Amino acid sequence: MQLGLIGLGKMGGNMRERVRRAGHEVIGYDTNPEVSDAESVQAMVDALQAPRVVWVMVPAGEITKSVITDLADRLEPGDLVIDGGNSRFSDDAPNAELLGAQGVGYLDCGVSGGIWGLDNGYGLMVGGDAEHVELAMPIFDALRPEGPRDEGFVHAGEVGAGHYVKMVHNGIEYGLMHAYAEGYELLEKKDIVTDVPGAFKAWSRGTVVRSWLLDLMVKALEENPSMDDVSDYTADSGEGRWTVEEGIANAVPMPVISASLFARFASRQKVSPAMQAVAALRGQFGGHQVMTVAEGEDLRAEAARGVASPAASRAQEKKKIETPQGPQESAQGDAADAGPTSGTQSTGGSPGPTSGSESTQ
């Protein structure tokens, strides 16, 4: 079978090779002439026999939209376009409608496997009409892992379903990755644990937390046990955000996936405005020391070296700021002596509740 493939980056290039290994002919086009098989999209289309199948593997969003719009003008009735990128599922219906007006079919296909897919195969999640899935099935079979088809391929539903399933897949991935990461940090902090990489490797067989992600974690730790020179700045592809948005839209609670997404946002902040506000508030109601940025960085450096102990942190907590309190606090005395400002218990004579459910009488 022939396949036209637009986009020959890390994923697209490996997919071309895997399909070729299965005995199919792939004519690829990329804006980089060094990796492209055809000099233009039109040359690629002309080299394919009808009914043509063209797989689009380019960045999601406007680039994908422009490629599909261009193909709508070049392809003929009976041809088929497959979007295998990380497009948002809501883009699929408009793409299908645009191509359908020209008699061209459309499938959306979520692809999982990363750089390892060339040898291991790719997990495929497809949305669209059954007749179009059947037309492209030889290509899907070439790309998926060896073994039973339903353990690496699903026709998930109508147009948009493939990308929707892939979106949820990536949301789950966020949560799994962060759970392993939190476990790593805790093991690193505990002085009685001396072989953290070994602990993760021991989970590889027979345990309920074993997975391919765990195997990759073991590989990363074996290559760099202490994560030397690894920045904690973590990007996101967008699919985690879309998953949380869909959770809200469908009233599905997603505390784990949401927390893992927000943790990535936090990783990009050199200074957290939210935590600055918390520090300022603690200074106001409790008289706790409000440190300068430089003092905070010194404490971070000590913590990274294992110098800052819980006892040292508590000692810092006991320090009082020297600046005077506001008028209300001055009239009432030291805020630290006024009793609790939140909770469900009595404050023993304080002016009135600031939060909580019980009386302060």
Beta bridge partners of 81: 54, 106
Mean pLDDT along residues 89-98 = 98
Percent with pLDDT over 70 in the chain? 84
The predicted model scores a pTM of 0.80
Dist. CA 68–CA 86, nearest whole Å: 14
pLDDT at 325 over 80: no
Residue 320 phi/psi, 5° resolution?
Answer: -110, 145
Q: Give me the amino acid identity at 127.
A: G
Dist. CA 335–CA 38, nearest whole Å: 74
Mean pLDDT along residues 181-185 = 94
Mean pLDDT along residues 160-170 = 97
The alpha carbon of 325 is separated from its chain's Cα centroid by a whole number of angstroms, namely: 44
Average pLDDT, the chain: 86
Mean pLDDT along residues 141-149 = 97
Domains and CATH numbers, the chain: 2-157 (3.40.50.720), 168-268 (1.10.1040.10)
Residue 149 per-residue DSSP state: G
Output the pLDDT for position 91.
97
**Residue 299: which pLDDT band, with cuts at 50, 70 and 90?**
confident
Task: Give the least confident one: 29-33, 220-224, 281-285.
Answer: 281-285
Output the pLDDT for position 286.
78
Question: Given the structure tokens 């021991």, which residue do they identify?
Answer: 202
pLDDT at 179 over 50: yes
pLDDT at 300 over 90: no
Output the pLDDT for position 301.
79
Which residue among 25, 173, 246, 329 is the active-site one?
Answer: 173
* 166 labelled catalytic: yes
Question: Given the structure tokens 């219906």, which residue do they identify?
Answer: 93
Dist. CA 80–CA 97, nearest whole Å: 13
DSSP characters over 108-123: EEEEE-GGGHHHH--E
Dist. CA 100–CA 37, nearest whole Å: 28
Span 187-246, pLDDT tens digits: 999 999 999 999 999 999 999 999 999 999 999 999 998 888 888 888 888 889 999 999
pLDDT at 340 over 80: no
Query: Rounded to the nearest 5 degrees, what angle is found at the Cα of 234, between the Cα atoms of 228 and 237?
Result: 140
Dist. CA 335–CA 284, nearest whole Å: 8
Close Cβ partners of 82 (under 8 Å, ≥ 6 residues apart): 53, 54, 55, 56, 106, 107, 108, 109, 136
Check: CB of residue 24 under 8 Å from CB of residue 2: yes
Output the pLDDT for position 347.
38
Cross-sheet strand order for the sheet of 80-83: 25-29, 2-6, 53-56, 80-83, 105-112, 123-127, 153-157
pLDDT at 353 over 70: no
Output the pLDDT for position 121.
97
Mean pLDDT along residues 135-141 = 98
Residue 336 per-residue DSSP state: G
* 188 labelled catalytic: no
Angle between helices 161-189 and 255-267 (to 10 degrees): 70
Sequence-ordered strand ranges (E) for 30-139: 53-56, 80-83, 105-112, 123-127
